[in-house]
Homo-oligomer: A and B are copies of this chain.
């Protein structure tokens, strides 16, 4: 369970100081807009007042919100707790205390805490484990408490969480039965158990994990089959992620934590195998996971439609949670590569530039421009092609808030005898190594605009130490510059291992030219297409603002001409347009017709994470190649 370079320790908020750049801008927007936005909508929707009504004994059948709305409050609490840890702004701490007080008053004497079940006029506690989401909500409460513990130490929120966790252990312990239709309690329990040193909580998470996969959840309540909630096969025996994507990924995140805590190599290997199979055959080019709208789920192998790609923002976050844990457990940079891809092309794609609207689904092809949602309505539309301020099921905004607030903790880790820099952004990192020494580095870069990353040692440990810089899998041709000399470094990690002195600098040069990407020929949905990437960014063609193309359906890219970079992060590819469409009204299947002609045009591509920022538009990530015709 110990990676080859020694145990890897993730850094706390105080150990990484993020400088200006791509991610700092997202964090600032999150702090300045999204956190308030979430509280505003939850107040407005009555999801916060649900706690007051339980406390006041006035809740009932008219309780607003889905049964899982408590979890949004907890995810906001978690985001606020991390945000206070990041900046120390007093009003953020005030918000944590204010929300904590309202939540705490709704907790029953025995530790049970849920505003949807168990009170007058409501269904009894745990009467619908399949869809009731009670333990799911509790899991998010526990994660919020972990954020508080990791930033300010024990407080009222931690006490609430401890009582809730004790109640769960008492109700669902080794002699009990039952599990939640939506995994999350598992990761909450193991995280809180680790943070508090409470082995009981870790063990309860393990119990839930191993209790799952035996078909005990009632399928008549969710007619999508037991795979929907991963109750079809025990996690130790499954070969791939399947069913509802967020459920599958939260479950696996918990499994890695439990495996590490209990030294359970079998469990870790099982999740590694599922990651490998799923990433190779069930993952979209953006890192997005989930191919089906019907069950928000994974499809079969190679079922990766661009137009109906679901790629829920929450599934992207959950995928980062799993890959990050697998990296910490194994030191394998493949996991960090997927984290980067998912950060830039799923997580960063969801929020609008102003932090007050969000994508729920992140498709790779929008056939028809979306319609702006009604400004004041909870959007039922997870698939509108337009970011919406809030949703009827609004899991993504708060999930983004908690993730963005902690983005910089994924930038680097402490190893036994050195530091590893994993995500490139200007930052100062100062951390205690596994061997007790301290090492500091300052990273300077305008990545992903440019590909040069300068890492200057600001504090050198005495004696030999290692500086490890991730070389992304896409970065063939990368070079490491040290003392004026450059040497090629293959994907994986560039390692400098020697005695360092403060002020010394190494530079990583990543090749940032745009490149054409071909899909595996077994991915039916995008056969005959190419995509374009530049650095870690996937690009797309929008119909809006496209100078020489009116209809994206008519464009064919010429893959023999390399894509060109232009000013402003724009990439241009050569294409034919106006060729090929069959006569209107015809049956669209028939004999082969070679269609020539068409005009050569330039197709302008923009980073996928920015799509629909200039207004509703059709959009394609995968571009059909010439020749056109059938």
Neighbour of A518 across the interface among B292, B531, B591, CB < 8 A:
B591
A315–chain B nearest beta-carbon distance, Å: 17
In this complex, what residue of B is CB-closest to A282? B588
Starting from the known contacts A276-B585, A522-B588, A527-B624, 14 additional A-B residue pairs (CB-CB under 8 Å) come to: A280-B582, A283-B588, A285-B589, A293-B294, A301-B367, A518-B592, A520-B589, A521-B581, A521-B595, A521-B628, A522-B580, A524-B529, A524-B624, A527-B528
Q: Does A412 contact B (CB under 8 A)?
A: no
Residues 277-318 of chain A: 1 if any B CB is under 8 Å from the residue's CB, otherwise 0?
101110101000000111000011111011110000000000
Q: Does A523 contact B (CB under 8 A)?
A: yes
Determine if B553 and A588 form an interchain contact, defined as CB atoms under 8 angstroms apart: no
B contact residues around A302 at 8 Å (CB): 367, 553
Determine if B593 and A524 form an interchain contact, defined as CB atoms under 8 angstroms apart: no
Please, how many angstroms separate the alpha-carbon atoms of A392 and B224 in the complex?
A: 13
Neighbour of A280 across the interface among B279, B523, B584, CB < 8 A:
B584
16 pairs from A and B in contact (CB 8 Å cutoff): A223-B380, A280-B586, A285-B589, A292-B293, A293-B293, A299-B307, A303-B307, A303-B308, A306-B524, A517-B590, A520-B581, A521-B629, A522-B553, A522-B580, A524-B526, A528-B528
B contact residues around A299 at 8 Å (CB): 307-308
Query: Taking A223-B380, A308-B305, A521-B580 as contacts, is the C-beta distance between A516 and B592 under 8 angstroms?
Result: yes
Q: Does A519 contact B (CB under 8 A)?
A: yes
A194–chain B nearest beta-carbon distance, Å: 30
A272–chain B nearest beta-carbon distance, Å: 10
Give residues of chain A (363-408) contacting chain B, Cβ–Cβ below 8 Å.
365, 367-368, 380-381, 392
Please, how many angstroms separate the alpha-carbon atoms of A182 and B500 in the complex?
A: 74
Determine if B589 and A280 form an interchain contact, defined as CB atoms under 8 angstroms apart: no
Query: Taking A223-B380, A293-B292 as contacts, is the C-beta distance between A588 and B523 under 8 angstroms?
Result: yes
Determine if B524 and A525 form an interchain contact, defined as CB atoms under 8 angstroms apart: yes
Q: Is the interface of A mostly helix, strand, loop or mixed?
A: loop
Query: Taking A285-B589, A589-B285, A624-B527 as contacts, is the C-beta distance between A582 and B520 under 8 angstroms?
Result: yes
Determine if A520 and B630 form an interchain contact, defined as CB atoms under 8 angstroms apart: yes
Q: Does A438 contact B (CB under 8 A)?
A: no
Determine if B589 and A531 form an interchain contact, defined as CB atoms under 8 angstroms apart: yes
Determine if B630 and A588 form an interchain contact, defined as CB atoms under 8 angstroms apart: no
B contact residues around A582 at 8 Å (CB): 280, 520, 522
Please, how many angstroms separate the alpha-carbon atoms of A527 and B223 in the complex?
A: 33
Determine if A581 and B292 form an interchain contact, defined as CB atoms under 8 angstroms apart: no
Number of copies of chain A assembled together? 2
B contact residues around A590 at 8 Å (CB): 517-518
B contact residues around A526 at 8 Å (CB): 524
Please, how many angstroms separate the alpha-carbon atoms of A337 and B525 in the complex?
A: 29
B contact residues around A622 at 8 Å (CB): 524
B contact residues around A101 at 8 Å (CB): none
Please, how many angstroms separate the alpha-carbon atoms of A281 and B515 in the complex?
A: 33
Q: Does A238 contact B (CB under 8 A)?
A: no
Residues 222-236 of chain A: 1 if any B CB is under 8 Å from the residue's CB, otherwise 0?
010100000000000
B contact residues around A381 at 8 Å (CB): 225
B contact residues around A306 at 8 Å (CB): 524
A58–chain B nearest beta-carbon distance, Å: 24
Query: Taking A280-B588, A302-B553, A585-B280 as contacts, is the C-beta distance between A529 and B531 under 8 angstroms?
Result: no
Please, how many angstroms separate the alpha-carbon atoms of A622 and B527 in the complex?
A: 12
B contact residues around A624 at 8 Å (CB): 521, 524, 527
Please, how many angstroms separate the alpha-carbon atoms of A523 and B590 in the complex?
A: 13
Query: Taking A300-B368, A305-B305, A305-B308 as contacts, is the C-beta distance between A589 and B525 under 8 angstroms?
Result: no
Determine if A524 and B276 form an interchain contact, defined as CB atoms under 8 angstroms apart: no
Please, how many angstroms separate the alpha-carbon atoms of A308 and B293 in the complex?
A: 11
Determine if A589 and B517 form an interchain contact, defined as CB atoms under 8 angstroms apart: yes
Please, how many angstroms separate the alpha-carbon atoms of A130 and B581 in the complex?
A: 39
Determine if B525 and A525 form an interchain contact, defined as CB atoms under 8 angstroms apart: yes
| A residues at B contact (CB < 8 Å) | 219, 223, 225, 276-277, 279-281, 283, 285, 292-294, 299-303, 305-308, 337, 365, 367-368, 380-381, 392, 473, 515-529, 531, 553-554, 559, 580-582, 584-593, 595, 622, 624, 628-630
Q: In the complex, which of the residues A292, A302, A308 has the most CB atoms of chain B within 10 Å of its own CB atom?
A: A308
Please, how many angstroms separate the alpha-carbon atoms of A294 and B300 in the complex?
A: 17
Determine if B518 and A303 form an interchain contact, defined as CB atoms under 8 angstroms apart: no
In this complex, what residue of B is CB-closest to A580? B521
Neighbour of A587 across the interface among B219, B225, B279, B300, CB < 8 A:
B279
A545–chain B nearest beta-carbon distance, Å: 21
Query: Which 5 pairs across A and B sit closest by C-beta, in order of nearness?
Result: A518-B630, A520-B588, A528-B528, A223-B380, A527-B528
A370–chain B nearest beta-carbon distance, Å: 11
Neighbour of A223 across the interface among B392, B559, B628, CB < 8 A:
B392
B contact residues around A580 at 8 Å (CB): 521-522
B contact residues around A517 at 8 Å (CB): 589-591
B contact residues around A591 at 8 Å (CB): 515-518
B contact residues around A225 at 8 Å (CB): 381
Neighbour of A630 across the interface among B519, B584, B585, B593, CB < 8 A:
B519
Please, how many angstroms separate the alpha-carbon atoms of A365 and B529 in the complex?
A: 20
Please, how many angstroms separate the alpha-carbon atoms of A368 and B282 in the complex?
A: 14
Please, how many angstroms separate the alpha-carbon atoms of A527 and B528 in the complex?
A: 6
In this complex, what residue of B is CB-closest to A620? B524
B contact residues around A584 at 8 Å (CB): 280
In this complex, what residue of B is CB-closest to A393? B223
In this complex, what residue of B is CB-closest to A285? B589
Q: In the complex, which of the residues A276, A283, A365, A524 has the most CB atoms of chain B within 10 Å of its own CB atom?
A: A524
B contact residues around A554 at 8 Å (CB): 522
In this complex, what residue of B is CB-closest to A384? B225
B contact residues around A283 at 8 Å (CB): 588
A564–chain B nearest beta-carbon distance, Å: 18
